[in-house]
C-alpha cells in the first residue's frame, strides 16, 4: 500500500487544530497590518483620481470584497465536492465556515458598490449584469445558510452537511448559466452602463490596493479558520460524549 500524501494528515482534527493554532496569529497579524497600511495608503497618501475625484477611494474596500465573495463560493463548492466524495468531516466544517465570511463580503460588495454608484452614476442601483449577479450571489449565500440551519438538529449535523453540500454544488454549476443569462438579459434591455475605466494608476494607488487586498484576504482566511476550529471542536466534543453516555447507561 502506498503512503498517502503528507497533506492528507491535516484532514484529521488532531493535526488540523495545532496547525491552524500556529497559523492564526500570523494571519490575524497580516490582516491587521495589511488592512491598516492599505487603507492608509489608499485613503490618505494616494492622489485624487483625475476622473472620479475622491469617490474612487472606496475601491480599496470594494475590489477585495468582490473578489473574496466570489472565491469563497468556489471554495465552498470545492469543499462540498470533497466532502461528498471522501466523507471527511473537515471538508464540511470548512464549507460551512466559509459561508458567513462569503456573505459578509458579498453584502459589503453591494453596499460599497451602491455608495460609489450614488455620486458617480447618480443612482444607488442600476439593473446591470454585474450588480444583478452580485445580488444573486448574496442570495445564494443566504439560501445556503438558511438551508443548513433549518436542517440541523442539535445532535446531528450530517443531514445539514449533505443538504448544504448539494446546494453549494448545484449553485456553483448554475452560476455560469446564471451569469450568462443575466448579461444576455442586460444587453437585451439596455445599453452598456457606465463602468470604471482602467487607467494607468499611480504607484501609491497600486500599493494601497495590493496591501488592502492581502490584508482582507488574510482576514477572510483567519476568520474562516477560526470558525472552522470552533465548529470542529464542538463536533469532536459532541462525538466524545456518546461513548460516555453509553457507559453511564450500562
Contact residues: other proteins, CB under 8 A: 136, 139-140, 142-143, 146-147, 150-151, 159, 162-163, 166-167, 170-171, 174, 177-178, 180-182, 184-185, 188
> What is the separation of C-alpha 58 from the centre of its chain, rounded to a whole number of angstroms?
19
Q: What is the DSSP secondary structure assignment for residue 44, as one 8-state letter?
A: I
- Within 10 angstroms of residue 191's Cβ, the number of other Cβ atoms is 7
Q: What is the nearest approach in angstroms of other proteins to the Cβ of residue 166?
A: 5
Torsions phi, psi for 170 (to 5 deg): -60, -40
Beta bridge partners of 49: 53
Cβ proximity to other proteins, 23 vs 85, nearer residue: 85
Q: From CA 208, how far away is CA 63, in angstroms rounded?
A: 12
The Cα 118–Cα 196 span in angstroms is 14
Shortest separation between residue 173's beta carbon and other proteins, angstroms = 8
Distance between CA atoms of residues 246 and 250, nearest Å: 6
What's the min distance (Å) between Cβ of 202 and other proteins? 39
Q: How far is the CB of 151 from other proteins (least distance, A)?
A: 5
Q: Between 143 and 196, name the residue whose CB sits nearer to other proteins.
A: 143
Rounded Cα distance between 4 and 86, Å, is 14
The residue (of 141 and 219) whose beta carbon lies closer to other proteins is 141
**CB of residue 137 vs other proteins: minimum separation in angstroms?**
8
Q: Which is nearer to other proteins, 150 or 240 (CB)?
A: 150
Q: Which is nearer to other proteins, 138 or 218 (CB)?
A: 138
Amino acid at each position: 500500500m502506498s503512503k498517502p500524501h503528507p497533506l492528507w494528515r491535516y484532514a484529521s482534527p488532531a493535526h488540523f487544530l495545532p496547525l491552524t493554532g500556529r497559523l492564526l496569529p500570523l494571519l490575524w497579524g497580516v490582516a491587521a497590518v495589511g488592512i491598516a497600511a492599505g487603507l492608509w495608503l489608499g485613503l490618505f497618501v494616494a492622489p485624487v483620481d483625475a476622473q472620479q475625484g475622491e469617490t474612487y477611494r472606496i475601491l480599496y474596500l470594494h475590489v477585495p470584497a468582490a473578489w473574496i465573495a466570489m472565491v469563497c463560493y468556489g471554495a465552498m463548492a470545492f469543499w462540498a465536492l470533497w466532502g461528498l466524495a471522501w466523507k471527511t468531516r473537515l471538508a464540511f466544517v470548512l464549507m460551512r465556515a466559509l459561508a458567513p465570511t462569503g456573505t459578509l463580503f458579498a453584502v459589503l460588495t453591494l453596499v460599497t458598490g451602491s455608495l460609489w454608484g450614488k455620486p458617480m452614476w447618480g443612482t444607488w442601483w442600476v439593473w446591470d449584469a454585474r450588480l444583478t449577479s452580485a445580488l444573486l450571489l448574496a442570495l445564494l449565500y443566504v439560501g445556503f445558510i438558511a438551508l443548513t440551519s433549518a436542517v440541523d438538529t442539535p445532535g446531528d449535523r450530517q443531514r445539514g452537511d449533505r443538504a448544504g453540500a448539494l446546494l453549494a454544488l448545484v449553485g456553483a454549476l448554475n452560476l455560469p448559466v446564471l451569469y450568462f443569462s443575466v448579461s444576455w438579459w442586460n444587453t437585451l434591455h439596455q445599453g452598456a452602463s457606465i463602468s470604471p475605466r482602467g487607467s494607468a494608476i499611480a504607484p501609491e494607488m497600486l500599493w494601497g490596493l495590493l496591501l488592502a487586498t492581502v490584508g482582507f484576504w488574510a482576514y477572510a482566511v483567519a476568520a474562516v479558520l477560526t470558525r472552522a476550529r470552533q465548529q470542529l471542536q464542538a463536533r469532536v466534543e459532541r462525538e466524545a460524549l456518546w461513548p460516555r453516555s453509553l457507559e453511564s447507561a450500562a
